[in-house]
Amino acid sequence: MTIQGNVRGKNFSLAHGTIKFFGDQGCINSPTDWSLSFIPGGGIAHTDPLDTMAEIRVLIMGDVNNGQGDNIAVLVVTPLYGVRLVLEGVITAQHLHEAQEPTNDIVDIPGVFIEGRTLTVRVLNGAQHTMATADAQGHFIP
């Protein structure tokens, strides 16, 4: 996958193949090697590409099985998971062009197609969980 674009916001950037949300960043070195930096002031960790979508499928299917599937409108993720979604190609440069920053701790990315749904991905700085689902008003789905 090739990341293209030069998108800059206050709390995110995509430039020269590196994506950054808040302090977490990553880039693709090769199809089998990513660089991720998610430790404040720390170094870079090299890792194999991760399958974030598998974790999202489990989360969404749990909501569907609990009768909450129709209420899912927002996927809330930590900055690192936001980075991973860009590196996996789920969030594109076009999505980032349409991103909004409603507060200092949030980046909302509308129109992301995930598991047969068009959702807003909310990158939440300081999130307590790696990911969660929410309804259109932003209320977490239990």
Segment 12-68, tens digit of pLDDT:
998 888 899 998 889 888 888 888 886 666 667 777 778 889 999 999 999 999 999
Q: 63 in a domain, yes or no?
A: yes
Q: 79 in a domain, yes or no?
A: yes
Q: 45 in a domain, yes or no?
A: yes
The CA-atom distances, in angstroms, between 18 and each of 72, 86, 87, 103 are: 30, 10, 9, 23
**Domain enclosing residue 15, as ranges:** 7-134
Provide the whole-model pTM. 0.88
Percentage of the chain beyond pLDDT 90 is: 58
Tokens representing 64? 């569907």
C-alpha atoms less than 13 angstroms from C-alpha of 118 in its C-beta half-sphere = 3
Per-residue pLDDT band for 122 (boundaries 50, 70, 90) equals: very high
Q: 94 in a domain, yes or no?
A: yes
Q: 2 in a domain, yes or no?
A: no
Q: Which distant-in-sequence residues (6+ apart) come within 8 Å of 67 by Cβ?
A: none
pLDDT at 5 over 80: no
Domain tally, the chain? 1
- Mean pLDDT (the chain) is 88
Q: Can you tell me the distance from the alpha carbon of 17 to that of 49, in angstroms, rounded to the nearest whole number?
A: 15
The better pLDDT of the pair 47, 98 is held by 98
Q: 47 in a domain, yes or no?
A: yes
Q: 128 in a domain, yes or no?
A: yes
